[in-house]
Structure 1
Amino acid sequence: MPDGRTRRPPSGGQPVALPRILPTFQCVGEDARVAEVPEVEIIVRDLKQAVVGRRFVDAQVLVPTAVRFASPEDFIQKLRGRRVLAADRRAKFMLLTLDEGQTLALHFMLWGELALRPVGSERPPATLVVLTLEGDDELQFSDTLGYARVALGPTQWLAAQLKLEELGPEALDDTFTPELLARLLRRRRSPLKTVLLNQRVLAGLGNRDADESLWASGIDPRRLASSLSPSEIIRLHRGIRDVLEEGLRLRGTQRDLFGVKGKALHRRNIFGKPGAPCPRCTTPVSHQRVGGRNTHWCAQCQPADGPAPEAPAQTSLL
């Protein structure tokens, strides 16, 4: 699909329209290829469109360690014949609800990818697992680093094994409000960046999007999470939602299920750009590790102990 315009439908029906491929810029930094929640959410939406309603007719496990909680043989035997009823996401887990009370979970870890291609298509050299669907298509699950994983099991059992119940609220859910964010941060005496990346506190932010959200809201990532004022919490909530929603609107930074590259890569402002001029004030972007993670911010726009520009009026949240 070099032009990225349409794809053959699964088994009859109308062709699936795909977004036009636009040029993107190369990413800088060790997190360049990491899929975050917008990228995972795009894949899940594509799965809803192209895979829900179809059956798995076979599977191949090319790298046995890619399968969790079962042998490759058991995984293939239990998956064969199962119909996909729904596709959902929890944090960075892609969850396919199957018939017979089963769920298939996939996680990209760092550099994982998932592609839907016709049976017989060339497979990436780093392919871990191939899931064959009725209609002569297959899902190719690959990862250059080899860390990506799949798991299959009864829905409640698998959720317990993956500790899904321990995850915090989703940053993209309608229930994620400034009031909820205030409660999540109230007693946290760790750096704000560290707290935002704690998936038990808030599910749905990765390293890239945390940096971009903090830059958008004008808040220093090294500040204690509990030190934010009500107006800063409102700004941070708005920054988080704006960054995630823009990532979805531009279909992320990676390739989607159909192989089309997203257009969000060149919209990064400070992440992965240490020393580059801040797009807002031209101050060189600062960089250090916070909580063991590469962190980028603008010392001018995100002051350590002062308000950011254009702060909204104070509002009582706490």
Structure 2
Amino acid sequence: MGVADVGEFGLIDRVTARLTYGSSCLLGPGDDAAVVAAPDRRVVASTDVLVEGRHFRRDWSSARDVGHRAAAANLADIAAMGATPTALLVALCIPADLDTAWAEELADGLAAEAALVDAGVVGGDMSASATLTIAVTALGDLDGRPPVVRSGARPGDVVALAGRTGWAAAGLTVLSRGFRTPRLLVEAYRRPEVPYPAGPEAAQLGATAMIDVSDGLLADLGHLAKASGVGVDLRRDGFEVPRQMSDAAQALGVDPYTWILAGGDDHALVATFPPAVALPPSWRTVGRVVEGAGVTVDGDAYDGPAGWEHFR
């Protein structure tokens, strides 16, 4: 059954019936706006858009996978500020011939990812469109802490990573070459595993700067370095190359560090900390902040791709 058969409000009813709202939601879908608790009296907000053909393909990912990815991309931004996610707002622009089951499964994925952080989809909008587009706004709470911004890194700080990088990029390469294995890498592309608790944890540890790795580690650390007016030097030996990635890289003729250093969509968190901070196991040191500008690898300029940038 296509969405045109059930209509806008019929589809809204089908989608909202599948959602959970999280403990911060005081009033969910059904009114002109939702009401979300903000105990800190400050609201952290971020928006991201996924466009079919550019950010996802329906022949590569299920609707539920796309829902997970859409939610994760936004929830990770909230965690990267040192905040706790509280709610999502979702706008869907969908073709009239889209199967209603696809939209319902998308809602399942959105709800399941949000539930990982006790958040929920509390509202949104729908429109007909020739291009399937999913726009998500995430809200979060700072729990009384100052936000961890990109501009606080200082020379001498250590650079640490929570989560993994390169897995989603490796999975995308595998799919782009017409394969479906190694499954571990393909699934990493379809559904990122975001270290959400590491964001507030970094804030509590005294992180001086932090950013979500969405476009590639080198590219995103470049934003942090520019905002802070410093340089960053990464160490290759700070990164583990798992066997599945190493085997896939050899089979496909790819340097695995291209995935690790420049691949996006894993939504790891990278932060800088004063050198005296004892980092827990959730964070591993991968470099240091130095005088200068830009990002180097083992002290030298990196001559490969830095990451994704729209319009290039």
> With structure 1 as the length reference, what TM-score do the two structures score?
0.30
Structure having the higher helix fraction is 2
Q: Per chain length, whose mean CA-contact separation is higher, i.e. which structure has more relative contact order (CA < 8 Å, sep 6+)?
A: 2
The structure whose Rg is larger is: 1
> With structure 2 as the length reference, what TM-score do the two structures score?
0.30
